[in-house]
Every structure is written in C-alpha cells, then in structure tokens.
C-alpha cells in the first residue's frame, strides 16, 4: 500500500459523506482510508456502511465513543498499511488528482514530511469563502500557513499533512497531551529528529472550516493559546508573525481610545481593513465575500490574539496554562 489516508471524525454525517465521496474520485488507486471515529452512539455507522466494500478504496474504522482527535489519528495510524500516512480533517474535500500530484512530487523530491495549502471551493457558501480568505491570505498573515514557500522550515498542518509511516512511529506520533497545536508539535519533533520536510504547493485541499463566526472565534482562540503552549515546548517555534493578531487587537483598542485626541490610528486601521475588503473582493469576484472577509479577519485576529495574550499571561506571569 502506497498511501494511508487518515481522518478523525466526530458526528457531522453529511460532512463525512462528502469527504468520503471526494475520495471516490481519486485518479490514483494505491490507497486506503482509515477513520478514527469518536461519534457517540455509533451514529455514523449508517453513513459509513455506504462506503464499506466500495471498489475504489478499502475503508477501515477505529471506533470508540468520544475518542479524542490525537488518539484517533494515532490509533488509525497503527492500523495503516501505507508507506505514507496522510492526515486530513473531515471538513476537507480532496481534489481528484491530489494523490497523483503527491506521487509526482515525491518522485522528483523524496520527503519524509509534507503538506499543502487549503483553498475555498467555488461551491462553498459566502461565509466559508470569507473565513477561508481570512485564514489563507497574506494580508492576514494567513500566507504563513501553507500558501508560500518563503517560510523557512515548513511545518505541515493536520488538515493536509503527510508523513512517512516509519518516521511517524519513530517519533511516537501525535502527542495526546496537547489538545490543540498537536500537528505543529509533531512537525517540529520530526524536523528535530532529522526528517526532511517540504511544501507541495499543488497538493491543495478544499477546506470548509466553520459555519458560524462564533464557532470560528472559538477555534482561532484555541489556536492562539496553543501557539504559546508550543513556545513553552519548542522555544524556537515562535515567530514575529505569530504576534500580529495580538498586535492588531491591541492597536484596535488603542485607536478607539485615542480617537478623541487623534483620528490617525483609526484611519490606519480603516485603511488596513479596506485593503482586505478590496483584495478579498477581487480574489473571490464577489463584493459580499469581500465585505464579509473584513468581519472574518477581525474575528480571526480578535480570537487568535486574545487566546495568544491570555495564554502568554497564564504561562509567563502566573506559570500555568489555559485550558483549551
């Protein structure tokens, strides 16, 4: 077996169905699919039964109620037969030529660890496109997540992350003690162990992300807090760009407080948000997406920045971490 495709799942039957359906369209045949399923009451069994025994790929499942994400990935990896393990989130749709592009790249440039960017499909709704823009655009620092090659050592993320099976098991897989940021932690440990990492720009996935701004805020809050947890474990991992959302949050508060004395800070903030609106409108060919992208970017910066700042205080001042 060449590739083992692994995803943790927890409810969301329609999302899981779309994910598995997208894999039926792969033009590469040498792969299997393994799900780590933590859904209470085995509620996904009916959906999964539709894909068991399909002629395109073997489907296997590790099931335990409330199985945590990292445990789900690790236990699925123990079942895997592939030379490479490729991890996805269940809210991803995989393009038909994804594995063929991975194969072609590995033939040109062998890698132990790799990943690719995420994009918004044309079929996504307006909010999903706006959130995707906020999470991937260079104007929002999203470019450091996988859409550029100028990022130093590349650390793949769990929504689109491949690793040689031997390397994965050698470093012990995902750290189940981390509730968030476990994918970056794994990438860092693999790099420290001497394994070669690389970005495969053409190996993108369509990533749906959250359906509401409230759930998006909670998600990025956890990301911001996790960045400090990663810093505590790996001191070299913190970059200047990771502090941008916190700086945005503090500058926004300052610009409002300074308004009675000077409109300049608020003007600079407005110019930045206008640039986001224009860029998102042009890239998505939609004024609605452009306007909503401004709101999504503000939510992202506020959520990530507040998680980042709070966990900085908790770790560095009070010597304790935030519950994620």
Half-sphere exposure in the Cβ direction for 263 (13 Å, CA): 3
Q: pLDDT at residue 182 above 50?
A: yes
The more confident residue out of 99 and 119 is 99
Question: Are 160 and 116 within 8 A, CB to CB?
Answer: yes
Tens digit of each residue's pLDDT (9 = 90 or more) over 68-101 = 999 999 999 999 999 999 999 999 999 999 999 9
**Class of 3-123+148-211 per CATH?**
alpha beta
Tens digit of each residue's pLDDT (9 = 90 or more) over 300-315 = 999 999 999 999 988 7
Listed in order, strand segments (DSSP E) in 64-141 are 84-88, 92-93, 113-115, 118-119
**Helix, strand, coil percentages for the chain (3-state, nearest 5):** 50, 15, 35
Question: Are 304 and 247 within 8 A, CB to CB?
Answer: no
Q: pLDDT at residue 264 above 80?
A: yes
The CA R_g of the chain, rounded to the nearest whole Å, is 20
The more confident residue out of 76 and 316 is 76
pLDDT above 70: percentage of residues in the chain:
94
DSSP string, 126-191: HHHHHHHHHHH-GGGTGGGGTT-S-SSS----TTEEEEEHHHHHHTTSS-TT-SSSHHHHHHHHHH
The more confident residue out of 190 and 149 is 190
Question: Are 72 and 36 within 8 A, CB to CB?
Answer: yes
pTM of the predicted structure, to 2 decimals:
0.90
């Amino acid at each position: 077996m060449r590739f083992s495709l692994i995803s943790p799942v927890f409810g969301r039957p329609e999302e899981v169905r779309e994910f598995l359906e997208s894999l039926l369209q792969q033009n590469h045949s040498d792969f299997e699919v393994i799900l780590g399923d933590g859904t209470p009451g085995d509620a996904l069994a009916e959906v999964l039964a539709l894909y068991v025994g399909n002629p395109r790929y073997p489907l296997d499942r590790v099931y335990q109620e409330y199985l945590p994400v990292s445990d789900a990935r690790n236990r699925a990896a123990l079942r895997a037969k592939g030379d490479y393990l490729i991890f996805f989130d269940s809210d991803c749709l995989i393009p038909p030529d994804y594995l063929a592009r991975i194969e072609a790249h590995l033939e040109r440039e062998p890698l132990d660890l790799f990943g690719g960017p995420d994009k918004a499909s044309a079929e996504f709704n307006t909010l999903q496109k706006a959130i995707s823009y906020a999470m991937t655009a260079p104007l929002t620092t999203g470019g450091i997540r996988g859409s550029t090659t100028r990022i130093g050592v590349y650390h793949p993320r769990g929504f689109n992350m491949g690793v040689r099976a031997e390397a994965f098991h050698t470093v012990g897989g995902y750290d189940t003690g981390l509730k968030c940021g476990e994918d970056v932690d794994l990438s860092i440990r693999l790099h420290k162990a001497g394994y070669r990492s690389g970005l495969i720009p053409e190996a993108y996935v369509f990533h749906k992300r959250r359906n509401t701004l409230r759930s998006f805020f909670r998600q990025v809050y956890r990301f911001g807090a996790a960045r400090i947890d990663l810093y505590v474990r790996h001191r070299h991992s913190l970059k200047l760009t990771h502090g941008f959302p916190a700086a945005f949050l503090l500058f926004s508060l300052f610009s409002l407080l300074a308004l009675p004395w000077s409109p300049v800070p608020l003007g600079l903030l407005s110019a930045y948000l206008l640039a986001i609106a224009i860029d998102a409108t042009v890239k998505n060919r939609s004024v609605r997406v452009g306007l909503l992208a401004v709101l999504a970017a503000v939510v992202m910066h506020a959520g990530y920045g507040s998680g980042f700042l709070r966990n900085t205080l908790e770790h560095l001042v009070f010597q304790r971490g935030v519950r994620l």
